[in-house]
Structure formats: structure tokens, C-alpha cells
Structure 1
Amino acid sequence: MSSSSLLSSLFEHKAWIDPQFFDQLAKVDGAAHADAHHQALRILNHIHTVDRIWAGHLRGEPHGLTGTNTDDTPTPDALRAAFAQLDAWYLDHVRSLSDAQFDEVITFRFTDGDAGRMTRGEMLAHVITHGSNHRGAVGAWLRQADVPPPRDLLTRYLHQHEPERRSSEV
């Protein structure tokens, strides 16, 4: 499997699971579980903010952010729409790259001003692992609010979208 195929699958999974977290967040009783709702939303905002930072690095454009979260917390609907737009950008970006471009080294500045250098593939892998890690934390806040988190599994995504993978013929 090539880097482009693997990363395409991972970003497809990300674009599929992200809205499910917003679906579950909408089920949280905001009066009874205000803190859990707020904390889950702040973590989702952090994921999105970091995704924006890395998209800027990948584009070679300033992202205009000075930290890994924003001072203001967007509404769930606004953040959901922003996630969808950026998830679509990442999918298009990954699908547009040649295998050689995944090895391209990009220099950038972290939000604290320190210099960094990573391959495009490493940056994309970071976006995937970072979001996955923090979606787990969102799931913990959802559980505290008595709302089950989505089943955030690559295997679940692959088998739902390619049911022939469930064939007993191997």
C-alpha cells in the first residue's frame, strides 16, 4: 500500500468520524452537564485549531495562529462546519500528492516560534494521530455526560465502506 493510499484511507476515516462526535455532543444535556459539554467542545476546537496550523504549514502559508486553541469557543454548529471544510481540504490535498511529494521536507515555525522541519507525510501522519488521540478525550467527556462516544475505529470505517472486506474468503 502506498503512502497516498494509506493516508487517503486515514483522512477518509477522519472525515467520516468527526461529524459523529458532533452528533453525540448534541445529545449532551447542557444544563446537567455544562462542564462536560464545554470541555468536549474545547478539545474539538483544539483539534481543529491544530489541523488549521498544519494545513498552513502544508500550504506554505501563514496560519495566523499563536497557540493551539483559540480564546473564544465557537458554537458546535460553527465548529462542525469548519471541521467539514478542513477535512475536505485535507482529503483533496492527500489525493493530489504524488508518492514523491510525501517525502518532501517542509520547514516551518511552531506556534511558540521554534523552528521545525518534517516531511509532508510526517505532517499528515501527525494530524491523524493528534486528532485521534484527542477524540479519545472527547469520548471520555461524553461518557461523563452519559452519552456514548462514537466507535472511532478504522476497522469499522473500512468494513462499513467496503463490506467485501468482511468476506470469509481470504
Structure 2
Amino acid sequence: MSTASLLTSLLQYKTWANQELFAEVQRLDPHTQQAELHAALRILNHIHVVERIFVANLQGLAHTYNATNTTETPTLAELQQAVQATDAWYLDYVAGLSAQQLEERLNFRFVDGDAGCMSRAEMLAHIVTHGGYHRGAVGRIMAQLALAPPRDIYTRFLHQSEPQRRQAAR
């Protein structure tokens, strides 16, 4: 499997995991679970802001963020729409990259002003792993409320999106 194919699969997984998690977060009651919903939104917004920062980094553009979260917390609906658009951007972006472009190292600045240098492939891998880490924190909030969080695992995504894989293993 090529690097581009693997990254495409991982970004598809990330898109699927985001859709599943947003559907589950909608189950939180904005009145009786206000604090937990707010905490979940802050975490999800952090993921989104970091992904938007890396959209700029991947294109060699400046971004307007001075932190890895925003002062204002978007609504769940606003955030879900923004995340879906960003997920689509990443899938379109990786589809247009050559193997050589994936390995190209790009210089950028972190929001704290420190210098960074990563290949495009490393940046895309960071987006996948960073989101997974923080989606797990939202899942933990849900579990503490006795709500089953989604099973956000790559193997589940692969076998759900390609059921023939289960047949091949038998």
C-alpha cells in the first residue's frame, strides 16, 4: 500500500469517526448536561482549530489563529458543519498529491511562535492521530455520563466500510 493510499484511508476513517462522534454528542442534554456538552465542544473545537492551522501550513499560507482553540465556543451544529467541510478538504487535498509532494518538508510556525518543519505526509498523519487522541477524551466524557461512546477504531472502520474483508479472513 502506498503512503498516499494509507493516508487516504486514514483520512476517510477520521471523517467517519467524526460523523459518528458528532451523532453521539447530539445525545447530550444541553440543560442537564451543560457542563459536559461545553467540555466536549471545547475539545472538538480544539481539534478543528488545529486542523485549520494545518490546512494553512500545508498550503504555505498564514492563518489567523493565535491559539489552538477559539475564545468563543461554536454551537454543535456550527462546529459539525465546519468539521465536515475541513474533512472534505483533507480528502480532496491528499487525492491531488504525488509521492514526491507527500515527502516534501514544509517550514511553518506553531501558534506559540516556535518553528516547525514536517513533511506533508507527517502533517497529515499528525491530523489523524491528534484527532483520535482528543475524540477519545470526548468519549470519556460520554462514558462518565453512562452513554456508550462510539467505537472509534480503525479496524471497525475498515471492516464496516469494506465488509468483504471479513469474508476474506474466513
With normalisation by structure 2, the TM-score equals 0.96
2:73 maps to 1:67: no
1:49-88 superposed matches below 5 A:
49-88=49-88
1:1-170 superposed matches below 5 A:
1-169=1-169
TM-superposition CA deviations, 1:93-137 (whole Å, max 9, x none)? 111111111110100010011111111111111111100000000
- Quote the offset at 1:63 in angstroms: 1.4
Q: Is the 8 A contact 1:48 1:83 kept in 2?
A: yes
> Between Structure 1 and Structure 2, how many residues are aligned?
170
Q: Structure with the greater relative contact order (CA < 8 A, sep ≥ 6): 1 or 2?
A: 1
- Quote the offset at 1:17 in angstroms: 1.3
Give, in whole Å, the separation in 2 of the partners of 1:90 and 1:158: 19
- Quote the offset at 1:143 in angstroms: 1.5
With normalisation by structure 1, the TM-score equals 0.96
Q: Which amino acid aligns with 1:11?
A: L
Q: Which amino acid aligns with 1:115?
A: A
Moved over 6 A (4+): none
**Secondary structure class of the residue paired with 2:108:** strand
- Quote the offset at 1:167 in angstroms: 1.4
- Quote the offset at 1:47 in angstroms: 0.3
Identity among equivalent positions (%) equals 49
Q: CA RMSD in A?
A: 1.1
Give, in whole Å, the separation in 1 of the partners of 2:103 and 2:169: 36
Give, in whole Å, the separation in 2 of the partners of 1:168 and 1:80: 35
